[in-house]
Amino acid sequence: MRSRTIHKLQSLALLLAVFAAWEGVVRIFAISPFVIPAPSAVIVRLYEMVTTGEVWPHFVATLTSVLTGLAAGGIAGLVVGSAISLMPAVERLVYPYVVAMQTVPKIAIAPLFVMWFGYGLTSKIVITALLCFFPILVSVVSGFQSVDKNQLEMMRAFGSTPMQTLFRLRIPSALVLIFAGFEIASVLAVIGAVVGEFVGAQVGLGYLITSLNFNLDVAGMFAVLLCLAAIGLSLHSVVKFARKRMIFWLRSDPAPILG
């Protein structure tokens, strides 16, 4: 606990040092606030947006898109990844098309989703789910394929059913890689929601950035970026916390080697 507290304090000290250097450079070189605003101006603008309620509807809309898209993409990735790993026929038929779909840039097809699903939350959720789908699918496939062959043979030798093998061996062995995929997807979810809001939206943090950019409110844009960073970091921390709780048999810190 003491070492963990020291690491957090060191990280906080680094953040404060970066902000102090940023503030000093802006003031010493008299950089225009229309180019790079000072951190103090960004904090003041963020406080104004929070207290006046300007940011809250957009924050809730983006958070809804992120969470719903991550959940939808996660469920789809788990289901399709499990089917590909456990059924070779599905891997031969489906996996090449999944890879081909992933090679298409989502920002290029985002306008199509806006046309199909409208300017509401649905199009943002679909874009977010597509971005989250592939990392989770790959992590599931890699996790199931990394199961120890000797352990599989032992399960068969003891007469385990396929379902027992799945829930008692395959899934626990794959959890490390599956959570790694969810950690990647938790960051991509924020990107997907903002991309959808940039293309076409009536509410959301991406839409708010576009409006602030039109009004040359650079400090407000930086304040919204801080909100997006807070969403991404919080979601990533939740996934890491769930990983530590569910994969409790792994040590977070390696034991020291004595001798």
> What would the pLDDT profile of 17-62 be if each residue is shown by its tens digit?
988 998 898 888 888 888 889 999 999 999 999 999 999 999 999 9
Q: How many Cβ atoms are within 10 Å of 144's Cβ, its own excluded?
A: 20
Global pTM reads 0.85
Q: Give the pLDDT confidence score for residue 79 in this predicted structure.
A: 92
| Nearest-angstrom CA–CA distance, 41 and 38 | 5
**Is the CB of residue 203 less than 8 Å from the CB of residue 58?**
yes
**Is the CB of residue 41 less than 8 Å from the CB of residue 24?**
no
Count how many residues are written for the chain. Answer: 259
| Degrees, nearest 5: CA angle 33-39-43 | 105
Q: Give the pLDDT confidence score for residue 65 in this predicted structure.
A: 93
Q: Counting Cβ atoms within 10 Å, is residue 152 exposed (0-12), middle (13-18) or buried (19+)?
A: middle
| Nearest-angstrom CA–CA distance, 155 and 162 | 9
**Helix 218-246, helix 56-86: angle, nearest 10:** 40
Q: Give the pLDDT confidence score for residue 257 in this predicted structure.
A: 39
Q: Give the pLDDT confidence score for residue 251 in this predicted structure.
A: 57
| Nearest-angstrom CA–CA distance, 182 and 78 | 10
Give the residue ranges of the chain where pLDDT is below 70. 1, 249-259
| Nearest-angstrom CA–CA distance, 224 and 219 | 9
Q: Give the pLDDT confidence score for residue 255 in this predicted structure.
A: 44
Q: Give the pLDDT confidence score for residue 125 in this predicted structure.
A: 92
Is it true that domain 37-246 has CATH number 3.40.50.970?
A: no
| Amino acid at position 165, single letter | T
| Nearest-angstrom CA–CA distance, 143 and 238 | 21
**Is the CB of residue 132 less than 8 Å from the CB of residue 69?**
yes
Buried-state track 186-200, b at ≥16 Cβ within 10 A, e below 16: bbbbbbbbbbbbebb
